[in-house]
Amino acid sequence: MARDKKKGPGKREPIKDKKCRFKRLPRYGRVLIITFSAIITAVAIAAAVFFIYINSINNTINSLNSSEVENILTPIESPEEPVTILILGRDSRDTEDEMGRADTIMLLYLDPKDSTGSLLSIPRDTLVEIPGHGQDKINAAYAYGGEELMIKTIQDFIGAEINHYVTLDFQGFIDLIDAMGGVDITIDRPLVDEKSGANLSPGDHHLTGEQALAYTRSRATELGDIGRIQRQQNLFKELMAQKLNVQYLSNVVHYFNILIESTRTDLEVLTILRYSKAALSFDPESFGTSIIPTHSDWIKDNTISVQIPDQEEARAMWERILAGEAASRYNAQYSEIDTIADSMTEDSVYTYRIKV
């Protein structure tokens, strides 16, 4: 009787048959399989390394960020919603107090859906009510209580709901400008200031980080701090015009890593990447810049110079920004002789040229 060659239950096919089938694959097929496997492995390794790298940066951010600040920020549900970011610039060399005072105070409003944005600056000498400390210059809020107290002060002052904050010291500013290859500006009058280090003649200039800092810190013009803020805003818009493209935004993680030692923020890297992608559709020319209206005065027996704000108009300006309108009802907030909004007529035209 012939032996039954039928395979029993669970009996496996000889291994040699499988090898034979594999060997029968065309050579290009084997190459494709090996190449595809190598690509998958490389992508997996790269993704793991990127995740570890991003996570390490986020851990550093979280270690610098206090829970108290997180509790007073207004959360947003998605990166497609309008966002308000408080930008603070501080002098890391300050010795007046432990935290130092905020030298630059800006509210950056971005609406990704409409690709619009606006920058509202608050002069550092603006006299405001600081919770728990009475009336003082607004930049003192940072010295008294860091970002938490500064956010509370601004919220009370103009009613802004702040979603995120970024605090950058001057060395970080220098490092960022240098990492981006500098910035081009044009000025129409000499800017010489021994205190800030600015020494620029009229014309076109390519500024390094140190030069850009001196340019934005100088108060050696007729408008003093207001002129300084105008130069800050001008530099901000120039950075947008020159650097807001794929080439630079593709390096945003690299820039963030450079700034990690000189920056305090609640923004995590992936959130910044999402905002950076949305920012590609922004038109720098349509980006609004404004300064809250103030006038100069003295307090404490004429020993301290301050800026007295028009708080009602400042709140109205912020509401107009949120509504997608021009912040100021006037063609100019300041003239060469420090004219303030109260002395202007709404819907009238004023001849004005920013001195940068």
d(CA 129, CA 352): 32
Contact 318, 271 (CB under 8 A): no
How far from chain centre, in Å, is Cα 246? 17
pLDDT by residue for the chain (356 residues), tens only, comes to 555 555 555 555 554 554 445 455 566 665 666 665 666 655 555 444 444 444 544 454 454 455 567 777 777 767 678 999 999 998 765 544 456 788 899 999 988 888 888 999 999 999 999 999 999 999 999 999 999 999 999 999 999 999 999 999 988 899 989 999 999 999 988 999 998 999 999 999 999 999 999 999 998 888 888 899 999 999 998 988 888 776 777 777 778 777 777 888 888 777 777 777 777 777 777 788 999 999 999 998 888 999 999 999 999 999 999 998 888 765 444 444 343 444 444 444 433 333 33
Q: Distances in Å between the alpha carbon of 144 and those of 111, 128, 141, 237, 247?
A: 32, 14, 5, 31, 40
Predicted TM-score (pTM) of this structure: 0.74
pLDDT digits (tens, 9 = 90+) for 288-325: 899 999 999 999 888 899 999 999 999 999 999 999 88
